[in-house]
Structure 1
């Protein structure tokens, strides 16, 4: 599995193709450097550097690439398991459709500790710089390619929970330096997004997300327990605002027309006790409803309508799975 990371490595920050690397899990300070690497097996990782990494992606059989930004309280191996589950689900639904590539950013793993949440929020914002550097390496590699050997794969992003903050900060950093990225990604999927519900509006920090995507899909659920915890923490830190992953955009009329809001309230609680991790596999191990929705969208190249409810599909598929 290919992956990106800005976690601290025991081997130090100097990149070297082929070196074995290990995560320093005791250090959750985000690094300015971004490392391009491969997971060979659990606990065994090799650095590739950017060009071999991107060339391997270009040569892969998958038609598209999905960059996965995990949420908070997630250690590297947990994120790799999530990635494997996503890859399995997409392979079941559409073999050869895409390759999932995670970005491993530093965060704690103690669920429910408010201080850890706040620390992870800071780490997510700081990780945006590293993610922006990864974008810069990709754009430079793409633009330097010979015209007769282009990279034709569609690029997509799935950001879960606080991973959406990493993505937003990365695109903000890029926009500050180079102007907003226009349509670089075919789809951006924001699942249970732990960012303010007005962030996608014109003039707000997240407006750069909508600009960077041809299609932007927001999955939200009002009974997401983890986002209720998020609201408590933000109130304590004098940042009172509803979360995008709870109710979708605050005012749908104020967001760009390429934004689609998907209400997942009918089924999110059936996936886990928090109702927060509904973007992967269903309880029986089959592709979940959001995963199915993403696969269909990427296959068709479009998302029908501006507001979609998966209620009917939820009742049909998940009741059968849980019977």
Structure 2
């Protein structure tokens, strides 16, 4: 499963891609960067970069892409479970039509819904900058004759 996140990893390998991308679940602040990754299995992820993600999407059998943006108080593994279920439903409706890609922003699961909501809201607001850059990267890729020759 591919995913995009503004959640910071436990170790920064920039400018190299992080082949062992581990979410820093203790850090609720959004990264200024966004990370394009592949989930290999539970708690095992690798960063593939934006060009790698966009190329993989283009080469996939799917006709459309749906970006799944979760709500507050969702940790990454919960999001992956929800997306897996949603992808299964999409495939049952029409196989090869929709590829669901989660967009994971940093939130936590504090006790108390009011506190949890407001600190997650701050993280969501901070994530807007990274995700705006992500969309800009997509627009550049889509318009580039060298990166996207078709």
Shorter-chain TM-score above 0.5: yes
Q: Match of 2:24, SS?
A: coil
Distance 1:104 1:148 in 2: 26
Cα drift, residue 16 of structure 1: 2.4
Cα drift, residue 22 of structure 1: 0.3
Distance 2:125 2:13 in 1: 20
Counterparts in 2 of 1:55 and 1:112: CA distance versus 1, 3 Å: same
Which residue in 1 is equivalent to 2:10?
Answer: 10
Which residue in 1 is equivalent to 2:45?
Answer: 45
Counterparts in 2 of 1:15 and 1:44: CA distance versus 1, 3 Å: farther
Counterparts in 2 of 1:100 and 1:114: CA distance versus 1, 3 Å: same
Which residue in 2 is equivalent to 1:105?
Answer: 105
Matches within 5 A, 1:157-168: none
Which residue in 2 is equivalent to 1:67?
Answer: 67
Q: Match of 2:101, SS?
A: strand
Counterparts in 2 of 1:40 and 1:148: CA distance versus 1, 3 Å: closer
Q: Structure 2: 5+ residue runs without aligned partners?
A: none
Structure 1 residue 119 corresponds to structure 2 residue 111 = no
Which residue in 2 is equivalent to 1:308?
Answer: none
Distance 1:72 1:7 in 2: 14
Which residue in 1 is equivalent to 2:32?
Answer: 32
Cα drift, residue 149 of structure 1: 3.5
- Spell out, residue by residue over 1:38-81, the C-alpha distance to the aligned partner (whole angstroms, 9 max, x if none): 00001000000111110000010001000110000000000011
Q: What TM-score results when the alignment is normalised by the length of structure 2?
A: 0.93
Q: Between Structure 1 and Structure 2, whose CA radius of gyration is higher?
A: 1
Distance 2:56 2:35 in 1: 15
Cα drift, residue 6 of structure 1: 0.7
- Spell out, residue by residue over 1:142-182, the C-alpha distance to the aligned partner (whole angstroms, 9 max, x if none): 111359843xxxxxxxxxxxxxxxxxxxxxxxxxxxxxxxx
Cα drift, residue 108 of structure 1: 1.1
Cα drift, residue 20 of structure 1: 1.3
Q: Match of 2:33, SS?
A: coil
Cα drift, residue 11 of structure 1: 1.5
Which residue in 1 is equivalent to 2:129?
Answer: 129
Higher strand share: 2
If asked which structure has higher relative contact order (CA below 8 Å, sep 6+), I would say 2
Q: Match of 1:34, SS?
A: strand
Counterparts in 2 of 1:34 and 1:148: CA distance versus 1, 3 Å: closer
